[in-house]
Amino acid sequence: SAVISQKPSRDICQRGTSLTIQCQVDSQVTMMFWYRQQPGQSLTLIATANQGSEATYESGFVIDKFPISRPNLTFSTLTVSNMSPEDSSIYLCSVGHLPNTEAFFGQGTRLTVV
Amino acid sequence: DQQVKQNSPSLSVQEGRISILNCDYTNSMFDYFLWYKKYPAEGPTFLISISSIKDKNEDGRFTVFLNKSAKHLSLHIVPSQPGDSAVYFCAASSQGAQKLVFGQGTRLTINP
């Protein structure tokens, strides 16, 4: 298993601003992912955070809106840029070790944009 | 295109009885399936998984059944306990990738 710490746990932000969410893992992990859960919806994958290279984004998500960093095997950040109320969601960091094994999730960051 | 579907948004079960949560998928490339439980203000917690080479996996009170021909899986919880009240998500992945496709979730309520 892995212990995943996300910061902040929640925030209320003004539209047009940006928020950076941090994800710290207690051990080195192969895979790190960022998901979004909009109100009343399922979890949707935003991107795979690649160590030392650009993140791989899913359809509908772009680097300019959701820049991601992963400087090492235990840490990643997701920035939500130029926020609008539609960005109000829970953002979750997830990590995995081996193929066809479970992925673990942080507690999430609840973002409200006003 | 909802590749993983949980058609029941909610389910209410009496304590001690069996809870059955269902999940359907459309992508035949999916070969690994997982169930997660989520409490409010927490991240999803892994419950149980199953590979497509199996049709059943059991862990304590939790059993997952996979019917590949029907592209259907189910999670059985027996006996159900009040602490099982949560939102349950079905998820799937393919070809060893750990990025997951989630269903919409089912809110399970266990009544005393």
CA distance A19 to A78: 8
Enter the tokens of residue A92: 């979750």
Give pLDDT tens digits along chain A (114 positions). 789 999 999 999 999 999 999 999 999 988 899 999 999 889 999 999 988 889 999 999 999 999 999 999 999 999 999 999 999 999 999 998 777 788 899 999 999 999
Q: What is the pLDDT of residues A58-90, one digit of tens each?
A: 999 999 999 999 999 999 999 999 999 999 999
Strands lying side by side in the sheet with B56-59? B4-5, B19-25, B72-77, B62-67, B56-59
Contact check, Cβ <8 Å, B41/A100: no
Q: What is the pLDDT of residues B51-73, one digit of tens each?
A: 999 999 999 999 999 999 999 99
> Between A4, A48, A102, which is nearest B99 by CB?
A48
The interface residues of chain B toward chain A in range 29-58, judged by CB-CB distance below 8 A, are 31-32, 34, 36, 41-46, 49, 51
For chains A and B, count residue pairs whose Cβ atoms are closer than 8 Å: 57
Nearest-CA distance B36 → chain A (Å) = 10
Enter the tokens of residue B74: 């189910």
User: Of A87, A95, A96, nearest to A109 (Cα)?
Assistant: A87
> Between A48, A99, A105, which is nearest B44 by CB?
A105
